[in-house]
């Protein structure tokens, strides 16, 4: 590091658990870019000041995580249309003195689906559990990529309802369904089940859905990456279903952020290796 080192980072609260610094610093080192990626813990009430300060000292780009993904939007100079529609920003770049916001979470999931499971969303039917920020980004991108049907369930009915309304507004020709109860029979016709709730992060968590909804061709995805194998994925694997955890989404949202910042192709395999190592250590 010297007087020319460019600074990137992540803002969130809390943020000390983040694997992004390891992933991005390994990419900068591998590409021989004189840059560093740091974690900045920013309290919600300090968000505006933090962003003003970050711009003043020339932070070149940063990721945004909970709880700032939605609330940072009014303080950015420009927001990419997809991020505006999703209503959340996870990546910001400093360009000609302006902070420009993007959302790479949903695209990261699509890239993981295509790379790890060789599945393209076009014409497929997805069932999403949870209607928070992650479900919003994933759902929007699945429909944008031509998914044929999206069904949504959230324990808080109003959250699922409002996501269904927003998605229907932007994709009037897609089949978007609201489930007010958890299904309890096989999800016939659905290609893929996605857990976009935090249920499964803790050992003692209950199963998010009864495995009797599985059918032999169902693909089961969990957006959780720590632990790498949630109870849901373990049961799906024991039934020989194809599965994917959240590591690919985490990796590819980071890859896309890094490419926005640097304009270069990201060293994906190095970033993956470092992420896996860091998660295994936890
Ligand atoms: P969030 O905004 O809190 O949304 C989760 C939603 O699921 C909330 O509406 C929550 O309701 C609901 N929920 C909780 N338990 C449920 C249940 N049993 N059945 C149905 N819905 C339930 O969280 P998020 O930011 O969207 O993140 C969701 C998950 O995705 C987390 O595990 C997170 O770690 C993961 N994630 C992964 C990546 C990645 O890169 N792999 C990126 C983002 C997020 P309440 O608000 O009432 O709890």
Burial of 91 (0-12, 13-18, 19+ CB in 10 A): buried
Q: Which of 20, 111, 194, 197 to mutate to test the pocket of ligand 1 (most atoms within 8 A of CB)?
A: 197
Are 110 and 142 spatial neighbours (Cβ–Cβ below 8 Å)? yes
Predicted local distance difference test score (pLDDT) of residue 282: 81
Give me the pLDDT at residue 167, please. Answer: 96
CATH 3.40.50.10860 domain locations along the chain: 6-103+248-281
Q: 106-245 maps to which CATH number?
A: 3.40.50.720
The answer to whether the CB of 228 is under 6 A from ligand 1 is: no
Atom of ligand 1 nearest to the CA of 197: 7
> Residue 112 is encoded by which pair of tokens?
């993981």
pTM higher than the cut 0.85? yes
For domain 6-103+248-281, say whether CATH 3.40.50.300 is its number: no
Q: β-strands 192-195, 219-222: how paired? A: parallel
Q: Is 253 in the pocket of ligand 1 (CB under 6 A)?
A: yes
Full pLDDT tens readout for the chain, 282 residues: 999 999 999 999 999 999 999 999 999 999 999 999 999 999 999 999 999 999 999 999 999 999 999 999 999 999 999 999 999 999 999 999 999 999 999 999 999 999 999 999 999 999 999 999 999 999 999 999 999 999 999 999 999 999 999 999 999 999 999 999 999 999 999 999 999 999 999 999 999 999 999 999 999 999 999 999 999 999 999 999 999 999 999 999 999 999 999 999 999 999 999 999 999 988
Residues contacting residue 57 through CB under 8 Å, at least 6 positions apart: 7
Structure confidence at residue 143 (pLDDT)? 97
Does residue 209 line the site of ligand 1, with CB under 6 A?
Answer: no
Closest residue CA from atom 1 of ligand 1: 132
Q: Residue 227: is the preceding peptide bond cis (ω within 30°)?
A: yes
Is 32 among the residues known to form the active site? no
Residue intervals in the chain for CATH 3.40.50.720: 106-245
Residue nearest to atom 9 of ligand 1 (CA): 132
């Amino acid at each position: 590091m010297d007087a020319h080192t460019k600074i990137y980072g992540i803002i969130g609260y809390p943020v000390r658990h983040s694997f992004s610094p390891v992933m991005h610093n390994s990419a900068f080192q591998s590409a021989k870019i004189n840059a560093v990626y740091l974690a900045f813990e920013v309290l919600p009430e300090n968000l505006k000041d933090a962003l003003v300060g970050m711009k003043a000292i020339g932070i070149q780009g940063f990721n945004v995580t909970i709880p700032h993904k939605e609330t940072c939007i009014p303080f950015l100079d420009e927001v990419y249309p997809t991020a505006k529609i999703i209503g959340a920003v996870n990546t910001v770049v400093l360009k000609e003195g302006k902070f420009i916001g993007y959302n790479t979470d949903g695209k990261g999931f699509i890239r993981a689906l295509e790379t790890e499971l060789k599945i393209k969303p076009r014409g497929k039917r997805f069932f999403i559990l949870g209607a928070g920020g992650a479900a919003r980004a994933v759902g929007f991108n699945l429909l944008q990529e031509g998914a044929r049907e999206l069904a949504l369930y959230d324990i808080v009915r109003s959250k699922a309802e409002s996501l269904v309304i927003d998605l229907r507004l932007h994709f009037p020709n897609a089949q978007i369904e609201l489930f007010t109860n958890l299904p309890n029979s096989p999800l016939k016709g659905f290609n893929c089940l996605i857990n976009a709730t935090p249920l499964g992060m803790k050992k003692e968590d209950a199963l998010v859905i009864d495995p009797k909804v599985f059918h032999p061709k169902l693909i089961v995805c969990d957006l959780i990456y720590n632990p790498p194998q949630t109870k849901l994925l373990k049961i799906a694997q024991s039934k020989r279903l194809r599965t994917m955890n959240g590591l690919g989404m985490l990796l590819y949202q980071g890859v896309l952020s890094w490419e926005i910042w640097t304009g270069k192709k990201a060293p994906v395999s190095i970033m993956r290796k470092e992420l896996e190592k860091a998660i295994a250590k936890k």
